[in-house]
Chains A and B, each alone.
Chain A
Amino acid sequence: DAGVIQSPRHEVTEMGQEVTLRCKPISGHNSLFWYRQTMMRGLELLIYFNNNVPIDDSGMPEDRFSAKMPNASFSTLKIQPSEPRDSAVYFCASKAGGTREQYFGPGTRLTVT
């Protein structure tokens, strides 16, 4: 069974550009999480969805960040406009209902110049 799939794996963009990160959770999982990892702040939860509905977005740093989950097999995290301080590795994770283990994708390394 495929794990969590993220694309792109690497993204380099210029300040001010829009960036869209994509995630496909494990089939059958009903919770999806977006995390950001930086040297300064470690791994932080940005937002999570349950049954495609955003439950807690308190970790989203600014209005420049938005996330959607139009269906059970796809989610996006968008940054518009991007800034150099957004440079980080962004992870998507998913979890099956009634369980607690989260399974992480390979991450997207974002560099904003």
Chain B
Amino acid sequence: GIQVEQSPPDLILQEGANSTLRCNFSDSVNNLQWFHQNPWGQLINLFYIPSGTKQNGRLSATTVATERYSLLYISSSQTTDSGVYFCATGTASKLTFGTGTRLQVTL
């Protein structure tokens, strides 16, 4: 099956700092999604980005499908950005999730 690796596993930032999260996947598939799991456990869709670049406020994502990686950028981080960020890829109906990057934003 598809292997999905995320780095770094843990990240501590001071409020206002920028960060880049990486997702590597073993097979080229036309489906890449980023999720944020907040401290209350809710999984929230951030981006569906099989290729190219998208931006939503302080967050943006880039996927280079031919090189099998995706990046999530968080700019001017806020404490509400804390939680675990997952990437997931696969077919239209079978997603394989990475192990996540745990982000803590401190004051």
Instruction: Determine whether the beta carbon of A104 is less than 8 Å from that of B97.
Output: no
Asked if B45 and A42 sit within 8 Å, CB to CB, the answer is: no
In this complex, the interface size class of chain B, counting residues with CB under 8 Å from chain A, is: 20 to 34
The answer to whether A106 touches B33, judged by C-beta atoms less than 8 angstroms apart, is: no
| B-contacting 9-mer, from A19-27, A43-51, A60-68, A75-83 | A43-51
A42-B100, A43-B86 in contact; A102/B41 too (CB < 8 A)?
no
Of B12-20, B74-82, B87-95, the stretch lying at the interface with chain A is B87-95
Q: Which residues of A contact B99 (CB under 8 A)?
A: 42
> Chain A's interface: helix, strand, loop or mixed, by majority?
strand
- Contact: B42 with A48, CB < 8 Å? no
Residue contact B41 to A43, C-beta cutoff 8 Å: no
How many of chain A's residues touch chain B, expressed as a range? 20 to 34
Give the chain A neighbours of B95 by CB distance below 8 A: 45, 102
**B97 partner, pick from A43, A50, A89, A109, beta carbons under 8 A:** A43
